[in-house]
C-alpha cells in the first residue's frame, strides 16, 4: 500500500512541477536543515509567493504532499482519496496562485533517500547546512563518509545555471563536488566565505536573561548588522547566512534581507529562550540532537555569564557504532561548562561517565525524561541558566514543560504539542 501510494505521489509531484515550473530551493544536511529552511522562507516571502514543508514533511511522502499543498491523510483512506483528487485538479486545471518558489527540506534516514528525492525534484538552488564529524543517521551507513556521499547527491542534481550554497566552515560540506554548470556560494565565519559572519556576540540583560545574538554579515564590500532575539547559538547565524545567500541569488537587496531575518523567529525547540521556574532561564533545544548541534548548544551556554549552568542532556540517537564515542565527546565538553549535569537515557550514561572526571560537576542520571520530572524542582536553583537538549525520541520537551514558569504557553512555545504527540 505504501509503495503504491509513494509511486502515485511521486508521479503527481513530478507532473505538477513540470506544469507550474516553480523555482525550487532544496535544503539538506545533518543538522540545521529546518532552521535554514525557515530562515530562507522568511527572506523569500518578502518578494515572492512561497511555500515550504511543514512539520517533518521532508521524505518520500511529505515532499510530494508539500508540492501538492496538502497534509497527510494518515490512516484515513477517504482523506487520501481527497488528496489525490486535489492533485489531479492541479494537474488538469491551472491554478493561478500556485507558488512561485518552493522551499523544500530534504531529510535522510537511509542510503538512497536523497537520490530518490532528487530523481523528481531538481533544485534551482541547493543548500547544504552542516554535517559534522559524526553525523546523525550514521547508524544506517557504513560510516560518516557514506552519509556525506548521499548528501552530496543534492548539489550534483542542481539545474543548469543553478546555484549551490555550501557551509564553508564544515569541511565535509565545503568539499562537496559542484557541477560545472552551477555557481557556488560559500557561507560561514571563514575568510573564504563569500557571505561571511563576523563580530558575533551573545546578548544578556542585567538581570541575567539571555536576550539573543548579534553579528554582522559581510557581502561584496557591504556590512549589515543583524540582531536576532530570544534564541542563541551559532547555528542561527548559519541559518541566516544561508538565507541571505539564497536571497541575493533571487535579487533581494541586503536591507530587505536584514529586516526579514531580524523579524524571523527560530522554530520551536531550537535554542529558544523560555522563562523558567525560580527565575531561571531555559535554552530549549529539544527538537532533536546530533553531536555537532549538541556541542554548539553547550558552547552557547558557555558564553553566558554570572549564573550557575545546568545542562540537561538526553540520548543522541541513530549514531550506531559511533554512539559511545559521540556521547563521551559530549561528556568531556559538558564537564568543562556545567555546574550541574542531568543525563537522560541509556546512551547519556556515557556522558555522565566522562563528566565524572571533573569532581566540581554535580551529576544526576535518569532512564527517561519522565523520570526526571519529580526531581526538577529540587535540582534547579534561583537564577540558573538551563539547557535542555536530546533526540526527538527522548521527548525532552516534557522536561522543559515541567520547569517552565508558564506551562500554559507550552503549545505555543514547545515542539510536539499536537494531540498525536501528546498521546
326 close to 134: Cβ distance less than 8 angstroms: yes
Q: What is the pLDDT averaged over residues 8-33?
A: 97
Which helix (H) or strand (E) covers residue 185, if one does? strand 183-188
- pLDDT > 70? residue 291: yes
Count of CB atoms situated within 10 Å of the CB of 372? 24
- pLDDT > 70? residue 132: yes
- Residue 110: exposure state from Cβ atoms within 10 A (0-12, 13-18, ≥19): exposed
Dump pLDDT digits (tens) for 211-255: 999 999 999 999 999 999 999 999 999 999 999 999 999 999 999
Count of CB atoms situated within 10 Å of the CB of 55? 12
Dihedral of the alpha carbons of 138, 144, 148, 151, in degrees to the nearest 10 = 0
The string of DSSP letters for 17-37 reads HHHH--EEEEEE-SBSHHHHH
pLDDT of residue 55: 86
pLDDT of residue 207: 83
Taking CA atoms, 340 is separated from 122, 224, 356, 358, in Å, by 48, 38, 11, 11
- pLDDT > 80? residue 210: yes
Residue 87 has φ and ψ, to the nearest 5°, of -65, -40
**Looking at residue 59, what DSSP letter applies?**
S
Q: What angle do CA 403, 297, 224 make, to 5 degrees?
A: 115
* Strand pairing report for 125-128 and 23-28: parallel
Q: What is the pLDDT averaged over residues 386-405?
A: 97
Helix, strand or coil for residue 90? helix
Confidence label for 158 from pLDDT (cuts 50, 70 and 90): very high
Domains defined along the chain, listed by start: 2-189+249-256 (3.40.1190.10), 272-422 (3.90.190.20)
Could you tell me the three cell numbers for 9? 505521489
Cα gap 270→144, rounded to integer Å: 24
Q: What is the pLDDT averaged over residues 327-332?
A: 98
Cα gap 412→419, rounded to integer Å: 14
Helix, strand or coil for residue 219? strand
**Listing from the earlier edge strand, what are the strands of the sheet with 210-219?**
50-52, 101-105, 23-28, 125-128, 163-167, 183-188, 195-204, 210-219, 222-229
Q: What is the pLDDT averaged over residues 4-8?
A: 94
pLDDT of residue 1: 56
- pLDDT > 90? residue 307: no
39 close to 137: Cβ distance less than 8 angstroms: no
pLDDT of residue 186: 98
Percent of the chain past pLDDT 70, that is, above it, reads 100
Residue 285 has φ and ψ, to the nearest 5°, of -125, 50
Cα gap 302→304, rounded to integer Å: 6
- Note the pTM of the prediction, 2 decimals: 0.95
Cα gap 382→279, rounded to integer Å: 6
**Side-chain half-sphere CA neighbours of 52 within 13 A:** 22
**Selected residue with higher pLDDT from 206 and 92:** 92
pLDDT of residue 300: 95
Closest CA to 245 of 221, 269, 217: 217
- pLDDT > 90? residue 356: yes
**Looking at residue 276, what DSSP letter applies?**
B
Amino acid at each position: 500500500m505504501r509503495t503504491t501510494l509513494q509511486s502515485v505521489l511521486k508521479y503527481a509531484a513530478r507532473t505538477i512541477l513540470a506544469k507550474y515550473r516553480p523555482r525550487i530551493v532544496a535544503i539538506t544536511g545533518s543538522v540545521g536543515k529546518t532552521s535554514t529552511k525557515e530562515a530562507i522562507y522568511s527572506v523569500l516571502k518578502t518578494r515572492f509567493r512561497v511555500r515550504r514543508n511543514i512539520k517533518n514533511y521532508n521524505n518520500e511522502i511529505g515532499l510530494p504532499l508539500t508540492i501538492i499543498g496538502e497534509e497527510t491523510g494518515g490512516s484515513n483512506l477517504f482523506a487520501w482519496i481527497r488528496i489525490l483528487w486535489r492533485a489531479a485538479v492541479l494537474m488538469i486545471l491551472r491554478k493561478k496562485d500556485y507558488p512561485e518558489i518552493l522551499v523544500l527540506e530534504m531529510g535522510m534516514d537511509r542510503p538512497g533517500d536523497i537520490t530518490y528525492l532528487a530523481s523528481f525534484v531538481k533544485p534551482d538552488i541547493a543548500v547544504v547546512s552542516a554535517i559534522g564529524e559524526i553525523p546523525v543517521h550514521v547508524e544506517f551507513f557504513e560510516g560518516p563518509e557514506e552519509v556525506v556521499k548521499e548528501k552530496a547527491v543534492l548539489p550534483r542534481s542542481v539545474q543548469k545555471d543553478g546555484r549551490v550554497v555550501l557551509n564553508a566552515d564544515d569541511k565535509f560540506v565545503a568539499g562537496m563536488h559542484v557541477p560545472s554548470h552551477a555557481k557556488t556560494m560559500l557561507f560561514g565565519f571563514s575568510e573564504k566565505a563569500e557571505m561571511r559572519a563576523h563580530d558575533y556576540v551573545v546578548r544578556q540583560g542585567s538581570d541575567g536573561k539571555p536576550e539573543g545574538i548579534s553579528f554582522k554579515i559581510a557581502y561584496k564590500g557591504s556590512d549589515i548588522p543583524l540582531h536576532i532575539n530570544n534564541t542563541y547559538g551559532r547555528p542561527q547565524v548559519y541559518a541566516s547566512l544561508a538565507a541571505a545567500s539564497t536571497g541575493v541569488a533571487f535579487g533581494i537587496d541586503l536591507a530587505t534581507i536584514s529586516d526579514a531575518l531580524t523579524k524571523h523567529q527560530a522554530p520551536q525547540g531550537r535554542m529558544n529562550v523560555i522563562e523558567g521556574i525560580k527565575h531561571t532561564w531555559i535554552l530549549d533545544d529539544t527538537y532533536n540532537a546530533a553531536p555537532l548541534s549538541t556541542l554548539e548548544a553547550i558552547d552557547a551556554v558557555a558564553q553566558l555569564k554570572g549564573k550557575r549552568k545546568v545542562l540537561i542532556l538526553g540520548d543522541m540517537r541513530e549514531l550506531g557504532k559511533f554512539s559511545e564515542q559521540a556521547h563521551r565527546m559530549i561528556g568531556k565538553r559538558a564537564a568543562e561548562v556545567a555546574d550541574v549535569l542531568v543525563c537522560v537515557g541509556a546512551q547519556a550514561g556515557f556522558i555522565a561517565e566522562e563528566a565524572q572526571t571533573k569532581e566540581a560537576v554535580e551529576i544526576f542520571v535518569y532512564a527517561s525524561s519522565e523520570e526526571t520530572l519529580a526531581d526538577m524542582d529540587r535540582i534547579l536553583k534561583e537564577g540558573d541558566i538551563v539547557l535542555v537538549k536530546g533526540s526527538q525520541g527522548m521527548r525532552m520537551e516534557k522536561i522543559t514543560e515541567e520547569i517552565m514558569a508558564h506551562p500554559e504557553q507550552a503549545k505555543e512555545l514547545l515542539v510536539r504539542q499536537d494531540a498525536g504527540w501528546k498521546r
